[in-house]
Chain A
């Protein structure tokens, strides 16, 4: 094994991915080794492509290939509602329900009292700028129902209300201590419908 330096490198790179241990990485590496050349090349190219083509939307901070992103450009969506999420995968989870027809703001993280992460470490100022510029009627807070997400929600409520914008928060459905990413569609859909003013 030690003599196959490039295989070892591939195993090492793969084992750095989340949830991939040494053994899984080895299995994947040998699978890739057996792939037809075109398939292996297409896998490699797709990895390079996401790094080269995917950028951050300058309005909502979602990941996108074109700036502004498709959702920001969609004139059929309600500009007066902005749903605030922590990460792009949270946006994706809400989009899959098909229930929400407004726009989004991706914070690219959350406040974290135990990690010392404050408002200036995520895209809060950019959200407030959007609220000042546009005629936004409602901000819907959809942060994760864990401690960091709750701290973020409390903070956003305070600063958004001080701008005179109505604030709602997704309520029932999502259990505390969880992640939006892993909630089922029905739960997320109910949470959007059951939002309330706070």
Chain B
């Protein structure tokens, strides 16, 4: 049995039995881990908001070799991101961010840059709210951090260079831009222009905290949404629940 302490963001929290909770965390030191908090439903003093999604906590846990779930022994709150919880649309967009991390990140694979990306973006969401451009920056950097950086420099299949938007498509399956010729052999490809590629390359380099300075033009906005959502859907294999939720509340002012 070994004891560990690490910073963690709560991604999901499900009631289990009379008084326990099953939790998913994205941790700084261990990547995504799942654990059980015994007595969490009854012991408000020990847990409470600390175990709600979005919360940034210092997580204390121990593990026995035979169990797949770690045992959560304590959770000290670092930041509840209360500003997210105070607004329906911030909750919705924050839920999208943590759901993407939960579904895309493999268990027990350490990616400290993804942990920082998530906490930075929860902070941005809390303070300034979210917009489509910021979500694209979040998505492409998450893909990059997990080793799925979209290939944008030349055709991902034949490596022929390209110069005109009309010559290229994007393939979620190949994970990058393909030339017209190679696109013909693929089931699903999407339109992408040179301008969008430049914007996405910039999104990969820019300091996340200065992100509001990056403004996508209309084509780049539509295309990059299409491409990145398609790429993520290809990896997860289904629609994200939080996107269904965002769709269901979109008409409310």
Which residues of A approach B to under 8 Å, CB–CB?
A: 18-19, 111-121, 146-147, 150-151, 154-155, 158-159, 162, 175-179, 182
27 contacts between A and B (CB under 8 A): A19-B18, A111-B249, A112-B241, A113-B242, A113-B246, A114-B95, A114-B99, A114-B241, A116-B243, A116-B248, A117-B245, A147-B52, A147-B95, A150-B85, A151-B91, A154-B88, A155-B88, A155-B252, A162-B253, A176-B52, A177-B44, A177-B47, A177-B49, A178-B41, A178-B44, A178-B48, A182-B41
Q: For the complex, what is the distance from the CA of A177 to the CA of B52, rounded to whole Å?
A: 6
Question: Which of A113, A117, A151, A176 has the largest count of B CB atoms less than 10 A from its CB?
Answer: A113
Sorting the interface of chain B by its residue count into under 10, 10 to 19, 20 to 34 or 35 or more gives 35 or more
A98 to chain B, nearest CB (A): 23
What are the residues of chain A within 8 A of B249 when measuring CB–CB?
A: 111, 118-119, 155
Contact among B91, B245, B252 for A158, CB-based, below 8 A: B252
Considering the complex, give the chain B residue whose CB is closest to the CB of A145: B49
Considering the complex, give the chain B residue whose CB is closest to the CB of A152: B88
Considering the complex, give the chain A residue whose CB is closest to the CB of B15: A179
Q: For the complex, what is the distance from the CA of A177 to the CA of B49, rounded to whole Å?
A: 4
A94 to chain B, nearest CB (A): 18
Considering the complex, give the chain A residue whose CB is closest to the CB of B242: A113
Given contacts A114-B12, A116-B242, contact A175 B44 (CB under 8 A): yes
Indicate if the CB atoms of B253 and A146 lie closer than 8 Å: no
Considering the complex, give the chain A residue whose CB is closest to the CB of B80: A176
Question: Which of A114, A120, A158 has the largest count of B CB atoms less than 10 A from its CB?
Answer: A114
Contact among B42, B52, B86, B243 for A146, CB-based, below 8 A: B52
Considering the complex, give the chain A residue whose CB is closest to the CB of B240: A116
Q: For the complex, what is the distance from the CA of A155 to the CA of B91, rounded to whole Å?
A: 11
What are the residues of chain A within 8 A of B86 when measuring CB–CB?
A: 154
Q: For the complex, what is the distance from the CA of A176 to the CA of B54, rounded to whole Å?
A: 13
A127 to chain B, nearest CB (A): 15
Q: For the complex, what is the distance from the CA of A113 to the CA of B99, rounded to whole Å?
A: 10
Contact among B12, B48, B85, B245 for A111, CB-based, below 8 A: B245
Indicate if the CB atoms of B52 and A159 lie closer than 8 Å: no
What are the residues of chain A within 8 A of B248 when measuring CB–CB?
A: 116, 118-121
Which chain B residues (163-222) contact chain A, with CB distance < 8 Å? none
Contact among A116, A151, A154, A159 for B241, CB-based, below 8 A: A116
Indicate if the CB atoms of A19 and B17 lie closer than 8 Å: yes
Considering the complex, give the chain B residue whose CB is closest to the CB of A181: B41
Question: Which of B48, B242, B247, B248 has the largest count of A CB atoms less than 10 A from its CB?
Answer: B248
